[in-house]
Amino acid sequence: MTTEHNWAGNLTYRASTIAHPESVDELRGLLAQGGPVRMLGSRHCFNDIADTDGVLIALDRLPRVFEIDPTRTAVRVSGAARYGDIAPLLDAEGLALANLASLPHISIAGAIATGTHGSGDAIGSLASAVRGLTILTPAGETRTLERGDDDFDGAVVSLGALGAVLDVTLDVEPTYEVAQHVFEHPSWDAVLADFDEVTSIGTSVSLFSTWERTDFVDQIWVKQRQPEAREAARESLFERLGAEPATSKRHPILGVDPIACTEQLGVAGPWFERLAHFKLEFTPSAGAEIQTEYLVPRADAVAAIQAVRTLAGQIAPLLLVNEIRTVRSDDLWLSSSNGTDAVGIHFTWKPEEEAVRALLPTIEAALPETARPHWGKVFTLDGAETRSRYPRWDDFAALAARFDPERRLVNPYLERLGL
């Protein structure tokens, strides 16, 4: 057994070894040895989705791919590349992605495999930007899939169950600037009464709460694409909600030095230096933490937030911060926004996993039955119940059986889900 662990340190991988092949041929050789295997990204998941009893393979030493399509509407990049690695390269070429997660430290293949997302009523999850991908199956066969192909919608959010994602082609667009504004202490009742207006007031909106207080939201972060067109509407909305603009830079977790955070205070700058909350060269978030998230259809969002609010007394003692974001609908089979615009209710917990796991069933029971747990974070919802919330689950299971008939990628996490 290795002593290697995930980013958060709450999981020591059970794998016998972590291999770092330096060529695709070496990767093929490792796969040809047989036995259980999983790919490993940048290790930012909080559960055992990446783990295996066999060999973990990290693709971070494969030759790098970075090819801009001649149409300048797409880029092909290594699956193991981090968003933070490719963003400045794209920007230098006058190009941009539509969105980023809260941190640029994560690998592209790991993020899309788990349905990772940022925020934005009009922006889909990071997986929705995938136009194509190349997968090496455990049997060593190369499969290239493009948007529109039969299996494509099942293969992007893959839970790592199909094979090694060698490269990914992402949609890109002309580069743009973003300005970030923070507002404090709007009334929760007023925010929930005008929830749709609040989340649509910027390109990307996040609501942060510690649930120490249930009468106001601690912070609302608004990331706005430039040129600015909604300044007056934004100012008047937040005035109506009883909020004040922050007068200095903030961290999502109250009391934490905001040095790790991207620029705020309305100063416009490159998209990749504003869309993520955290800078690549710093530890994101708290560092010592675990995370949970449930995504609910937009129509259920206010009820779901109210349910969490009702549990504030039990949640707050374990919580560092709660973040609420929006994600546009997509057609990817295992996307948590499959078939519905969604609202993510995210919990950054103190690193007290046993107590958090004891509380999660209460939260899961209080949320609407449409809530889908984030694949990469800690949840306790039963596997059968979880998969029942994905209408295309059986199609995904059939796809996984075709890509991996010997079930070498099926680990305890996937077995719990019934794969």
**Contacts with ligand FAD, residue ranges (CB under 6 A):** 7, 38-45, 49-50, 59, 79-80, 101-103, 106-107, 109-111, 113-114, 116-117, 159-160, 164-165, 284-285, 291, 374, 376
For 250, phi and psi rounded to 5 degrees?
-125, 155
Q: Tell me the CB-side half-sphere exposure of residue 415, using CA atoms within 13 A.
A: 9
Indicate the residue among 291 and 322 with the shorter CB distance to ligand FAD: 291
In the complex, the smallest distance separating the C-beta of residue 108 from ligand FAD, rounded to whole angstroms, is 8
Contact 32, 57 (CB under 8 A): no
In the complex, the smallest distance separating the C-beta of residue 110 from ligand FAD, rounded to whole angstroms, is 2
235 Cβ partners below 8 Å, 6+ apart? Answer: none
In the complex, the smallest distance separating the C-beta of residue 125 from ligand FAD, rounded to whole angstroms, is 7
For 131, phi and psi rounded to 5 degrees?
-105, -25
In the complex, the smallest distance separating the C-beta of residue 43 from ligand FAD, rounded to whole angstroms, is 5
Indicate the residue among 305 and 417 with the shorter CB distance to ligand FAD: 417
Indicate the residue among 45 and 367 with the shorter CB distance to ligand FAD: 45
- Provide the 3-class DSSP secondary structure of residue 127: helix
Contact 264, 223 (CB under 8 A): no
In the complex, the smallest distance separating the C-beta of residue 289 from ligand FAD, rounded to whole angstroms, is 7
Indicate the residue among 117 and 225 with the shorter CB distance to ligand FAD: 117
The angle that helices 353-366 and 301-310 make with each other, rounded to 10 degrees, is 130
Indicate the residue among 172 and 295 with the shorter CB distance to ligand FAD: 295
What is d(CA 358, CA 107) in angstroms, rounded to the nearest whole number?
Answer: 30
Q: How much is the CA Rg of the chain, to the nearest whole Å?
A: 21
In the complex, the smallest distance separating the C-beta of residue 16 from ligand FAD, rounded to whole angstroms, is 16
In the complex, the smallest distance separating the C-beta of residue 350 from ligand FAD, rounded to whole angstroms, is 14
Indicate the residue among 293 and 364 with the shorter CB distance to ligand FAD: 293
Indicate the residue among 241 and 373 with the shorter CB distance to ligand FAD: 373
